[in-house]
Homo-oligomer: A and B are copies of this chain.
Amino acid sequence: MKRLNSRDPHFTEALRQLHDWDANLDPLVENRVREILAAVRERGDAALLEYSARFDGLHLETAAELEIPRRDWEEALAALSAPEREALEEAAHRIRGYHERQKLESWQYREADGTLLGQRVLPLARVGIYVPGGKAAYPSSVLMNALPARVAGVGEIHMTVPTPRGEVNPWVLAAAAVAGVDRVFRLGGAQAVAALAYGTELVPAVDKIVGPGNTYVATAKRMVFGRVGIDMIAGPSEILVISDGSAPAEWLAWDLLSQAEHDELAQSIFIAWDAAHLEAVAAAVDHALSQLDRAPIARQSWQERGALILATDAADACRIADGIAPEHLELAVADPEALLDKIHNAGAIFLGIHSCEALGDYVAGPNHVLPTGGSARFSSPLGVYDFVKRSSLIGASAAGAATLGALAERLARAEGLTAHARSAAARIPGH
């Protein structure tokens, strides 16, 4: 864990090093992914079966076995205890409710001469959701990726999840049932992305692929971008907590570690302007670390990537946070709304000491798929808007075409584009 002080003359550089994170562009990984994409594209299901045997230790005889039938998800859901099932369904209900507010409507207007202009919004036809296996197999991820697509009105939602040696997380299947996913395939890695992008006999090609994954998955998504849509290239998860000391140090320690326990590369940053409070939180983190199921992961994350920053005051803390553009920002202060104007870049903003990130991860309603690695400067939480597409509508009346045609002709001539000019001019009567 690093200790920084914003009064330090080298603070800016130290801060840059702390949060500088570049998307992974390893040429060796790229070459392997390129091979996998080409193999699946050319040989379809046969290649999928080979990769599943090689990478997942999964020896299947027919491609059909790559699909996990709906009765398996329904059984997984039925096997949950009542409180577990209630928590999953209530989370889904709240996520759905929040995302309903993100719906976009088509619009159009008519000008005085009868010309119609507008924008039509339609859901995507088919979407693929990549769900990681292993230590990052989270049912909440299934809800957060599938429900906005469902709210958007997407026709078909297909999910892929790797099942190493056949192991499948029953919570993930239960979440697929709750979220209303249409089909589930036991596929992971670049080959899952390839199947979704190009389609095979078993797996239909989709229009967009969303969901987090390791560096192979991220590289594959980057490579198929253009043929299909992708959500974002997710980096490690981050939390940044700004505290005025209103919350007990212990609460803040759990908050910081709820990020660190995700992944060794996850980053937890704590900013305060009271040095004694900073030390109290540092001590609370040390104490809390030993109580975690995933203590080794959290400890490594906190030691190597964590930071305690002493700022001069609340405004300074906000300035620092804004430069980092964190995925999760907790304003653990008595009057969070007073700081909101000073913050421009953050995926999700948690207001006040009762708003811990864990609420947002599961049940508050907003999406937990958020821009990482500073990309909150330019991108947004996953939302309904990611599962629709827009078409412009241009319906020129005869009179409108004459007026607009004269202008278009002039500009087309300036660009040396004769056919454009003639096409516009043809609609002007007597031209």
Residue picked from A83, A88, A365, most chain B C-beta under 10 Å:
A365
A419 within 8 A of B: yes
Q: Does A395 contact B (CB under 8 A)?
A: yes
Binds B, one of A44-52, A55-63, A184-192, A345-353: A345-353
* Residue A29 CB within 8 A of the other chain: no
User: Is A67 interfacial (CB-CB < 8 Å)?
Assistant: no
A418 at the binding interface (Cβ < 8 Å) = yes
Binary contact readout A412-424 vs B (1 if CB under 8 angstroms, 0 otherwise): 1011111111111
Decide if B378 touches A389 in the complex (CB within 8 Å): yes
What 1/0 mask marks residues of chain A from 159 to 185 whose CB sits below 8 Å from any chain B CB? 000000000000100000000000000
Q: Which residue of B lies closest to A143 (CB)?
A: B411
Contact of A358 among B248, B343, B365, B424 (CB under 8 A): B424
5 other A-B residue contacts (CB within 8 Å) besides A225-B233, A354-B400, A359-B424 = A119-B366, A258-B422, A348-B391, A359-B401, A366-B392
Which residues of chain B have C-beta atoms less than 8 A from A379's C-beta?
Answer: 229, 389
Q: Are B257 and A408 neighbours in the complex by a CB distance under 8 Å?
A: no
Residues of chain A in range 375-431 having any CB-CB distance to chain B below 8 Å: 375-381, 383, 385, 388-398, 400-401, 404-405, 407-412, 414-424, 426-427
Interface string of A98-121 (1 = CB under 8 A from B): 100110000101000001110110
The chain B residue sitting closest to A380, CB to CB, is B390
| Contact for A359 among B227, B288, B364, B394, CB less than 8 A | B394
Q: Which of A220-259 contact B (CB under 8 A)?
A: 222-223, 225-229, 232-233, 235, 248, 250-251, 254-255, 257-258
Taking A366-B119, A411-B91 as contacts, is the C-beta distance between A354 and B396 under 8 angstroms? yes
| A421 lies within 8 A of B358 (CB) | yes
CA distance A203 to B364 in the complex (A): 41
Q: Whose C-beta in chain B lies nearest to the C-beta of A136?
A: B415
Which of B138, B349, B352, B378 meets A392, CB within 8 Å?
Answer: B349
Complex-state Cα separation, A81 to B27, whole angstroms: 52
Residues of B contacting A43 in the complex (Cβ-Cβ under 8 angstroms) = none
Number of copies: 2
Contacting residues, chain B, for A207 (C-beta < 8 A): 377-378
Q: A358, B423: Cβ atoms under 8 Å?
A: yes
Q: Does A202 contact B (CB under 8 A)?
A: no
Q: State in angstroms the CA–CA spacing of A194 and B298 once bound together.
A: 35
| Chain B contacts for A378, CB-based, 8 A | 124, 207-208, 228-229, 389
Is residue A370 within 8 Å, beta carbon to beta carbon, of the partner chain? yes
What secondary structure prevails in chain A residues at the interface with B?
mixed
Interchain Cβ contacts under 8 Å between A and B, 9 examples = A125-B377, A229-B375, A251-B427, A293-B418, A348-B392, A356-B396, A356-B401, A357-B423, A358-B421
Contact A349 B250 (CB under 8 A): no
A367 at the interface (CB under 8 A from B): yes
Top 10 A-B pairs ranked by shortest CB distance?
A: A23-B226, A351-B395, A366-B392, A229-B378, A254-B423, A354-B401, A257-B419, A380-B390, A348-B392, A87-B410
CB of A210, distance to nearest CB on chain B (Å): 11
Q: Please, which residues of chain B bring their CB within 8 A of the CB of A138?
A: 415
Contact present for B394 and A351 (CB under 8 Å):
yes
Q: Is A306 an interface residue when CB atoms closer than 8 A count as contact?
A: no
Chain B residue nearest to A374 (CB atoms) is B227
CA distance A376 to B392 in the complex (A): 11
Q: A117-B98, A226-B235, A405-B359 in contact; A354/B393 too (CB < 8 A)?
A: no
Instruction: List which A317-366 residues lie within 8 A (CB) of chain B.
Output: 336, 340, 343-352, 354-366
Chain B residues with CB below 8 A from A102, complex form? 119
Answer whether residue A90 sits at the interface, using C-beta atoms and an 8 A cutoff: yes
Question: If A117-B98, A420-B258 touch, does A395 touch B336 (CB 8 Å cutoff)?
Answer: yes
